Amino acid sequence: MLKLISSSCIQSRVHRLGPGLLPVSRPGTESTTPLMKVLSSLVGLSWRNVNLGSRVFFCSDSSDGSDQVVEAEVKAAESGANEAESKGSSAIVPTYPRPEDYLTVLALPLPHRPLFPGFYMPIFVKDAKLLAALQESRKRQAPYAGAFLLKDEPEADPSVASSSETEKNVYDLKGKELFNRLHEVGTLAQISSIQGDQVILIGHRRLRITEMVGEDPLTVKVDHLKELPYNKDDDIIKATSFEVISTLRDVLKTSSLWRDHVQTYTQHIGDFTYPRLADFGAAISGANKLQCQQVLEELDVYKRLKLTLELVKKEMEISKIQESIAKAIEEKISGEQRRYLLNEQLKAIKKELGLETDDKTALTGKFRERIEPKREKCPPHVLQVIDEELTKLQLLEASSSEFNVTRNYLDWLTALPWGEYSDENFDVIRAQKILDEDHYGLTDVKERILEFIAVGKLRGSSQGKIICLSGPPGVGKTSIGRSIARALNRKFFRFSVGGLADVAEIKGHRRTYIGAMPGKMVQCLKNVGTANPLVLIDEIDKLGRGHAGDPASALLELLDPEQNANFLDHYLDVPIDLSKVLFVCTANVVDMIPNPLLDRMEVIAIAGYITDEKMHIARNYLEKATREACGIKPEQVEVTDAALLALIENYCREAGVRNLQKHVEKIYRKIALQLVRQGVTIEPTVDSVHAIEPKETEVDFEESGQNTAGKKNSELLESSSPEQMSETSTIEVQTADQSADIEDAKESVEDKESGSKKTNEKILVDESNLTNFVGKPVFHAERIYDQTPTGVVMGLAWTAMGGSTLYIETTLIEEGEGKGALHLTGQLGDVMKESAQIAHTVARAILHEKELENNFFANSKLHLHVPAGATPKDGPSAGCTMITSLLSLALKKPVRKDLAMTGEVTLTGKILPIGGVKEKTIAARRSEVKTIVFPSANKRDFDELADNVKEGLDVHFVDDYMQIFNVAFCEDETQSIGEVTA
């Protein structure tokens, strides 16, 4: 690299140069060549004003980055010598002897770049012998040496920079080994100065090594080289030189360093000829050492110019790249600084105006702070969307509608608990305890839930199942879901889909709509703050379907374990992992759930509670909770077991306990009113006493028995004015009146307390006074008949409220030849109407088989009725009951006492299975029925019932109607048809 040396620096460190060592132009002459005129026009120089005594020179720098400043003082040569050489064409001031007289020189190795004629180069000489030889030759007025570029090692990569290693190798080379590593062509260098181990060289002319003379230090014989003859007027040479100058001009526009090179070089060089132009271009270019050595070795002027042109062109391209890089960095830095300053000014302005809360930067910072703790757990696709939206938010105007949409969207995205899960507890014993605390009975349901938790413990996760709790209202389906969440240590979230007709409630709205919101699941995750809550979807059998889509189909993606790992909400529009969410659904009637949805669920049926279970629930759960809610103490009220039993039997016959809870609350509300009425005259009096007591403390007595208040009043009288005295007297009167009121109040309190002790006794709720609290009984005994008459049979039915008994009655309207017909009433559905027709046909066949001559059905018009005509009835389980009723009328024989039956019959008399075995069994027990007939296919369902449900029942399992006929009409043959006693 070339350095500019200023004269101000030279004064501090002066180095004397031998006479004639400076490359200067001849005094009094002008360079009239075209090249010099062109180059002079580039730098704006006047050749007439060249200062021969200038102290500014060029030096070439080693490529290892160590910039050594060469300071030298130009000393004019002796006048005689200058005059003798003033006629010569060379700009180099000659010495004695002349440079061309040196045919044997010391060889100096150059590790990094060759030395071109007319340029300086500092080198470090570590070899002591070589340094001494240089100093000696300088003293002997022979300050010349040969500078030769060092060849690279054969295995070394010239493109890899390792300057320290190269210098170490140069110092180690000696004699023949060093001679073999030197390039043949070098430069005759004048030793300008020696400072320590630093030697300043000035290039003069080209040399070629011919042979080695001495080894230590290395001394070689050389030949002085001259350029090959060339034609100055050759057009190709001119054109090439002009292209070099043109390229130099372009580089000068972008690089001030090159401009200094040209200015300094032209001040101290003689005629600016074509060879020197080529040397100049190659010397100041950033080409590698081999390319520079190639230029140095080339003696053909045209070829040398071409090589230099290539190097300068490459330098021009590098300069352009450097300029573009610098411009880009400058624009980036200036743009960022400008944006930063403007933002800071904007913040200051908004702070002064009190608008900093609406700052987009603050809003963006809030979102970034919210998502930062979740960044490691957040899915990459969600992070990408958040970053894009944050960038978008910065570019939007706060007044635009899109800004609010983006802000709300980011609010939802950053508020969701990405990757945050609550620790699950799979302790089965703890779960059993929690379930027993919250619910009584339901043994099969609890067992199934414990199995589910046990499987989750072994798997380490409880997802993958959708539990559906089905049963009548009030049996505790919702509270069971809450208990499961508590047992698993999961967050609980409930939303009801009853009557839901809009898909957007589940899948969310599109963000383009005004007032768009995410679906229920996204809202759930935001509310609970964890990604694995227990979500209870209530009343799933009551889903609606409207113009806004089919919610049941939308729930498929939500509840399907294979799909909900990538649940896509329309509002968020990014996949959400719901596979860790535990879904629990509730339904009253499973048949109302769409089949594709039901297929993904595991149904757990909750049939309801029998009377014994209701008694326990009322005593241990409902009564306790209601008493605390009403603020009544246990010792104030006693509700007898007979009262609870009557309440259950006559008021609350449904399968659940919600209605029972209402009646218990009704009882305790009336008790609370009764207690308050008893104490209404006491409590306000006590309050007034408390209000007076702070004033009573003024009437106090000392140990001597004197009235302290009197003393105070006398003191006040002595030290007060007449106005104050009047005020004091008023106070005295008030105090006296208050003391009298206190005495009266105390007396009244004592009287009232003695009376309240008599009236405020424990309130007893018994069967006898139950009607005073809950009114008249709602239900009467389901058994209408103590002794079943002819044509009447008790059937068992299932309803949404549980099981119930159902009478089927048949009577004769008229009788005559060929008048056989059947008339149906009782709001029967299509299924039961068809069952009645089948029953009529089967009954005629059985009667014909039993009594061949009996034409009752052929000649009788019958009326079949199912009581409670206001209640719609339908279902495939009344066929056998209808046949028995028809046969009872035809045979004029009542059925067996305490008998109830259920089952559907085919035309051939086969009994088909039915549903709701537990509910129907409970209904039979409620009606005090001891004998039940079930289809044989339902024996397994009956065996699974609890022992307290089956206790004391005679159950017959049949698969043909003739077995029912024998049970209903032939009591003596009951043992022969396979009676099963439970």
What is 100-154+164-226's CATH topology?
Answer: 2.30.130
- Segment (H or E) for 723: helix 722-759
Question: How far apart, in whole angstroms, are the C-alpha atoms of residue 837 and residue 822?
Answer: 8
In this prediction, residues 20-42 reach a mean pLDDT of 41
What's the Cα-to-Cα distance from 659 to each of 589, 628, 664, 946, rounded to whole Å? 19, 19, 9, 24
More confident residue, 979 or 378: 378
Both structure tokens of 219:
């001394």
Specify whether the CB–CB gap between 464 and 458 falls below 8 A: no
- In which region does residue 20 sit, left (phi positive, over 0), alpha (psi from -120 to 50) or beta (all else)? left
Amino acid (1-letter code) at residue 954: D
What's the Cα-to-Cα distance from 738 to each of 487, 731, 861, rounded to whole Å? 61, 10, 92
- Output phi, psi for 257, to 5 deg: -65, -40
pLDDT at 845 over 80: yes
Both structure tokens of 243:
């292209």
What pLDDT sits at residue 316? 80
DSSP state string for 467-496: EEEE-STTSSHHHHHHHHHHHHT--EEEEE
Could you give the 3-state DSSP secondary structure of residue 725? helix
Torsion over CA: 606, 612, 615, 620 (sign): negative
What pLDDT sits at residue 933? 93
More confident residue, 95 or 873: 873
- The one-character DSSP state at 655 is S
In this prediction, residues 483-493 reach a mean pLDDT of 89
Question: How far apart, in whole angstroms, are the C-alpha atoms of residue 251 and residue 285?
Answer: 11
Give the pairing type, strands 466-470 and 602-605: parallel
Question: Helical H runs in 518-569?
Answer: 520-528, 551-559
Both structure tokens of 391:
């960038």
What pLDDT sits at residue 851? 85
More confident residue, 636 or 681: 636
- The whole-angstrom distance between residue 150's C-alpha and the CA centroid of its chain comes to 64
Q: Which of 510, 323, 478 is nearest to 409 (CA)?
A: 510
What pLDDT sits at residue 136? 81
Both structure tokens of 552:
């049941």
Secondary structure percentages of the chain, helix, strand, coil, to 5: 50, 15, 35
Specify whether the CB–CB gap between 189 and 149 falls below 8 A: no
Specify whether the CB–CB gap between 796 and 904 falls below 8 A: no
Amino acid (1-letter code) at residue 245: I
Q: Which of 889, 866, 694, 886 is nearest to 797 (CA)?
A: 866
Question: How far apart, in whole angstroms, are the C-alpha atoms of residue 111 and residue 66?
Answer: 13
The order of strands in the sheet holding 466-470 is 492-496, 534-538, 582-587, 466-470, 602-605
Specify whether the CB–CB gap between 864 and 808 falls below 8 A: yes
In DSSP terms, 808 is beta-bridged to 793
Q: Of 877, 885, 888, 927, which is the active-site residue?
A: 877
In this prediction, residues 744-767 reach a mean pLDDT of 58
Q: How confident is the model at residue 169 (pLDDT cuts 50, 70, 90)?
A: low
pLDDT at 19 over 60: no
Question: How far apart, in whole angstroms, are the C-alpha atoms of residue 118 and residue 262?
Answer: 13
In this prediction, residues 863-886 reach a mean pLDDT of 87
In DSSP terms, 219 is beta-bridged to 106, 214
Both structure tokens of 619:
């005593």
Specify whether the CB–CB gap between 107 and 146 falls below 8 A: yes
Q: Which of 149, 146, 145 is nearest to 110 (CA)?
A: 149
- Side-chain-side CA neighbours of 342 within 13 Å: the count stands at 6
Of 584-598, 885-899, 959-973, least confident by mean pLDDT is 959-973
Question: How far apart, in whole angstroms, are the C-alpha atoms of residue 899 and residue 901?
Answer: 7
- The one-character DSSP state at 839 is H
Both structure tokens of 252:
């000068």
Question: How far apart, in whole angstroms, are the C-alpha atoms of residue 637 and residue 647?
Answer: 17
Instruction: Please identify which residue in the block is written with the tokens 């009764």.
Output: 674
Per-residue pLDDT tens digits for 502-553: 888 888 888 888 888 898 889 999 999 888 898 999 988 888 777 767 888 8
CATH of domain 611-738+752-773: 1.10.8.60
Specify whether the CB–CB gap between 716 and 729 falls below 8 A: no
Question: How far apart, in whole angstroms, are the C-alpha atoms of residue 858 and residue 663?
Answer: 53
235-325 carries CATH number 1.20.58 = yes
Q: How confident is the model at residue 130 (pLDDT cuts 50, 70, 90)?
A: confident
In DSSP terms, 2 is beta-bridged to 60
Specify whether the CB–CB gap between 961 and 912 falls below 8 A: no
The size of the chain, in residues, is 982
460-604 carries CATH number 3.30.2420.10 = no
What pLDDT sits at residue 755? 44
Q: Return the number of other C-beta atoms located less than 10 Å from residue 664's C-beta.
A: 26
Q: Of 289, 520, 920, 927, which is the active-site residue?
A: 920
Mean of per-residue pLDDT scores for the chain:
75
Specify whether the CB–CB gap between 273 and 281 falls below 8 A: no
Domains of the chain, residue spans:
1-96, 100-154+164-226, 235-325, 359-415, 460-604, 611-738+752-773, 792-969
Specify whether the CB–CB gap between 559 and 444 falls below 8 A: no
Instruction: Please identify which residue in the block is written with the tokens 């150059």.
Output: 110
Specify whether the CB–CB gap between 395 and 364 falls below 8 A: no
Of 57-61, 625-629, 678-682, least confident by mean pLDDT is 57-61
Question: How far apart, in whole angstroms, are the C-alpha atoms of residue 135 and residue 141?
Answer: 10
User: Is 877 annotated in the active site?
Assistant: yes
Query: Is the bond preceding 872 in cis, omega lying within 30 degrees of 0?
Result: no
- Segment (H or E) for 129: helix 128-139
Q: Return the number of other C-beta atoms located less than 10 Å from residue 303's C-beta.
A: 15
CATH class of 792-969: alpha beta
pLDDT at 934 over 90: yes
pLDDT at 134 over 50: yes
- The whole-angstrom distance between residue 144's C-alpha and the CA centroid of its chain comes to 78
In this prediction, residues 51-64 reach a mean pLDDT of 36
Of 146-160, 784-798, 836-850, least confident by mean pLDDT is 146-160
